[in-house]
Amino acid sequence: MPRFLLQFDPTAGTQLLQQLRALAVPLVFPRPLFDYVVVEIPALLAAQLSSLPGVLRVEADKRMGIFPVAVTQELQQLLQAGPLSLLTNPTIMGFRPDTWPTGQSRLVVGAGIADADGITGKGVKVAVLDTGNDPSHPQLLGNTGQSMIKTQPLAYDENGHGVHTASTVAGAQFSHLQGMLQGVAPGAELIIIKVLGAGIGLGDWSDILAGMQRAAELGAKVISMSLGGDDVTDPEASEFRVVRQLTERGIICCIAAGNSGPGSQTIGSPGSAPDALTIGAINKAGQPADFSSRGPTKLNLVKPDCTAPGVDILSGSTGFIAAYRFVDGLGRFAAISGTSMACPHASGVLALAEEYARRRGLTLTTPMVKEALREWYDRNPSNNVGYGVITYPLLKKFIAETF
């Protein structure tokens, strides 16, 4: 049965719920998500609900998911050598020269300087909305998760994408054969919420919406979302409205740009939301990754806003991805590429900067981050990389010299 989102007048929410229950309309969630009620009804009946008192508009739910894991040109060349090469090539079997352990990639965004400052993201809550969690993983021990997916009430990550992104944000130190692994903000408090499932990381926008609301209720300062779907042209679409509402509450929505580059107008939604902090990917050379989605958005906005490391990032993983990349560490780690890997680097930077801001009696906001990017990068933004790499020193300097 298809789902629909009913946007309602906030003054009429209680009355609308009573009407829907009286009409025996199935509610996906027992209470509203922001100013939306999610229902499951035949498409032919959806338009009729728009006439109910208090309903402002009816919007069809959307399918979203993790962006396809990017295959870099270097890895593609190795794969094209054939199956035998996968078993015999030493660059495949655990020692690929292009692998970028998080212990190294985190230094690009200034985490080493934060370490020297005694800044780890302590006390800052970062919600990772993704494919779930593995509390037994050595980089995430003690972190519990929760699921917004009714058919998958357990938050276990059968895909591996969620563990990878969470480990990149705040994973504990782990000594891997290919180098030290560590999250950008190892002291941050992770809130891991499963909003995508089906093994391959697909889900409904309404479940993601529920995860965003839960994250806000649990006190998340940063919501990290390495996911998305097709861009939209309606400025009042729910993706844009909810990101705007969270931003107005002081919560930073850090969202991956997508892996559909290098063509223009390939930014995914909700990363295309004007109020989102949208993250593209760079490689070890500091260049934009070929796959990293480019702007402008369909509303002609410059995106991404900034970039972070996202090529062959070696971090914790599990499930399908770790099994596919078994050579990266016995089913517990994987080196993969995508703006999905760049996004948690940026989310970690935001946690570091927020701890620094709190020490000065301040709190970081999305407008502050975007102003810092505008003020301290000596060039105009581009639809390839936005303003460039987001770093802790950049935000630290802005906070120290502006406030």
Residues designated catalytic? 130, 161, 340
Count of Cβ atoms closer than 10 Å to residue 332 Cβ? 20
Let me know: does 195 contact 157? Beta carbons within 8 Å.
no
Please report the sign of the dihedral spanned by the C-alpha atoms of residue 196, residue 201, residue 202, residue 205. Answer: positive
Let me know: does 5 contact 237? Beta carbons within 8 Å.
no
Q: Which residues pair with 133 in a beta bridge?
A: 156
Q: Which two tokens stand for residue 109?
A: 């965004």
Backbone torsions φ then ψ of 260, nearest 5 degrees: -110, 15
Backbone torsions φ then ψ of 21, nearest 5 degrees: -70, -40
| DSSP codes, 118-159 | T-S-TT-EEEEEES-B-TTSTTSTT--EEE--TT--S-B-SS
Nearest-angstrom CA–CA distance, 304 and 382? 8
Q: Which residues pair with 102 in a beta bridge?
A: none
Nearest-angstrom CA–CA distance, 80 and 398? 47
Q: Which two tokens stand for residue 103?
A: 């212990």
Biggest alpha carbon–alpha carbon distance for the chain: 67
Look up tokens 């079997």; give the residue: 93
Burial (CB count <10 Å: 0-12, 13-18, 19+), residue 217: exposed
Backbone torsions φ then ψ of 127, nearest 5 degrees: -90, 125
Q: Which two tokens stand for residue 145?
A: 């998760």
The DSSP H or E segment spanning 394 is: helix 392-402
